Amino acid sequence: MPNILEIKGLVASFASDGVRERAIAVNGVDLAIPAGKTVGLVGESGCGKSVTSLSVMGLLADNGRVEAGEALFGGVDLLKLSDRELRKIRGNRISMIFQEPMTSLNPVITVGKQVAEALRLHSGMDRQAAKARTIEIFEKVGIPEPERRYACYPHQLSGGLRQRVMIGMSMVLKPDLLIADEPTTALDVSIEAQILRLMRDLQRESGMSILMITHNLGVVAEICDLVYVMYAGEVVERADVNALFAHCAHPYTRGLMASLPRMTPKGQRLYNIRGTVPNLRAMPSGCRFSPRCEFATERCRVEKPPLADIGGGHLCRCFAPESGEGPMGGVSR
């Protein structure tokens, strides 16, 4: 299966006031998204998952910068394109959905116009045609009374509807790749299920790929085919979704799995990974997870483990994958 997007050795850094040295937020990430598939990118807040996607789109904040790497999209390196060339791809062939549907839409422009704007920009439709097409897509993403909703402002819609508007906006130009950055985090669980189902249906219909950025393993299980787990700016594990949930190999991934609340007897404490995410400016030597790892050895603290294949395309950055008994034993999907 050809890859729609292939990120190789991506390094991104941030400057902050009063500090000369730049903080490395993403350190050599390799990531491939097969055509028509959904890839999950999982990790804690601050592990670099959003920075990875924003780097590819050229949307890093002013103090952010891509230091190295390439992002091949249909044979073109997105990181080498000028802003003008990248803008032709943005919103057209690669589109994005963001976490906060409350703040991701402009409060003073009607939602219909915000969707039609993308359409007019990339397809050159006139106002009338763009409006008709927008109403069509609203209907498709399950917005009731699409014609009335076209003229609504964001504050007049519920969170779920706003996220549907965002999805409509990202789908209206039939992109090859949809990057969804925590699209359901701000929604309640029943709406989350609806939105995920909608994304899956739209994918089936259009054949696009999805990069699903999330910290929610439930979402991963629900929608992803392939999963990348990131920790402290690096990929620590990559596996097929079934393989990951059947036997995840990296101690960090296993910790994440064990932290999921499950049906356990009353009074049993919920598992948590001890320690905190390391500071970007003071990364531990050797394996970045070693200070928090229950199985770390002397070697882990000195030498950095490579991302190695442990069988069947399952990659893991650990010297002793599946070493010891994980804190949670076997977790089933």
Partner 1 sequence: MVKHIVKRILITLPVLLGIVLLIFFMLQVVPGDPVTVMMKEHLKEDVVENLRRTMHLDDPFFVRYFRYILDMLRGDLGTSWKLNRPVTNLISTAFPYTLRLAIASALFSWIMGIPVGVISAVLKNSLVDHLSMGLSLFGVSMPVFWIALILQNTCKGFLPVSGVQGWQSYILPTIVLGWSSAGRIARLTRSNLLEVLRGDYIRTARSKGLSPLKVITRHALKNALIPVITVMAIQISSLLSGAVITESVFAIPGVGSLAVTAINNRDMPLLQGTVIFTAVLIIAGNLAADILYSVIDPRIRVE
Query: Which of the stretches 6-14, 63-71, 106-114, 313-321 binds partner 1 when contact is defined by CB under 8 A?
Result: 106-114
What sign does the dihedral 166-171-173-175 (CA atoms) show? positive
- The amino acid sitting at 159 is G
**Looking at 6, 44, 100, 240, which residue binds partner 1 (CB under 8 A)?**
100
Q: Does 125 bind partner 1 (CB under 8 A)?
A: no
**Looking at 4, 5, 56, 98, which residue binds partner 1 (CB under 8 A)?**
98
What is the spatial distance between Cα 225 and Cα 210, in angstroms, rounded to a whole number? 10
Residues numbered 152-171 forming contacts with partner 1, rule: CB under 8 A: 153, 155, 166, 169
Nearest residue (CB) to partner 1, 7 versus 258: 7
Residues numbered 214-233 forming contacts with partner 1, rule: CB under 8 A: none
Q: Does 87 bind partner 1 (CB under 8 A)?
A: yes
* Closest by CA position to 233, among listed 16, 25, 21, 8: 25
**Looking at 117, 147, 240, 303, which residue binds partner 1 (CB under 8 A)?**
117
**Looking at 43, 48, 91, 326, which residue binds partner 1 (CB under 8 A)?**
91
Nearest residue (CB) to partner 1, 109 versus 302: 109
Query: Which of the stretches 26-34, 113-121, 241-249, 313-321 binds partner 1 when contact is defined by CB under 8 A?
Result: 113-121
**Looking at 13, 95, 184, 253, which residue binds partner 1 (CB under 8 A)?**
95
Q: What is the closest distance, in whole angstroms, from the C-beta atom of residue 145 to partner 1 in the complex?
A: 16
Kindly list the strands in the beta sheet with 234-240, ordered across the sheet, starting from the edge strand earlier in the chain: 94-97, 177-181, 209-214, 38-42, 226-231, 234-240, 315-316, 308-309
* Closest by CA position to 39, among listed 4, 9, 11, 72: 4
Q: What is the closest distance, in whole angstroms, from the C-beta atom of residue 201 to partner 1 in the complex?
A: 23
* Closest by CA position to 39, among listed 272, 192, 226, 202: 226
Q: Does 305 bind partner 1 (CB under 8 A)?
A: no
Q: Does 109 bind partner 1 (CB under 8 A)?
A: yes
Kindly report the number of other CB atoms within 10 A of residue 143's CB atom: 24
Nearest residue (CB) to partner 1, 87 versus 301: 87
Q: Does 81 bind partner 1 (CB under 8 A)?
A: no
Q: Does 124 bind partner 1 (CB under 8 A)?
A: no
**Looking at 2, 18, 75, 107, which residue binds partner 1 (CB under 8 A)?**
107
Nearest residue (CB) to partner 1, 88 versus 197: 88
* Closest by CA position to 228, among listed 104, 137, 313, 170: 313
Residue 49 and residue 40 in contact, taking contact as beta carbons nearer than 8 Å? no
**Looking at 118, 141, 220, 227, which residue binds partner 1 (CB under 8 A)?**
118
Q: What is the full DSSP assignment across 274-304?
A: SS-PPPTTSPPSSSTTGGG-TT--HHHHHSP
Rounded to 10 degrees, the C-alpha dihedral 296/298/304/307 comes to -40
Nearest residue (CB) to partner 1, 57 versus 125: 57
Q: What is the closest distance, in whole angstroms, from the C-beta atom of residue 57 to partner 1 in the complex?
A: 6
Report residue 185 as tokens.
């985090």
**What is the 3-state secondary structure of 212-249?**
EEECCHHHHHHHCCEEEEEECCEEEEEEEHHHHHHCCC
Q: Does 57 bind partner 1 (CB under 8 A)?
A: yes
Binding site for partner 1 (CB under 8 A): 57, 59, 83-84, 87-92, 95-96, 98, 100, 103-109, 114, 117-118, 121-122, 153, 155, 166, 169
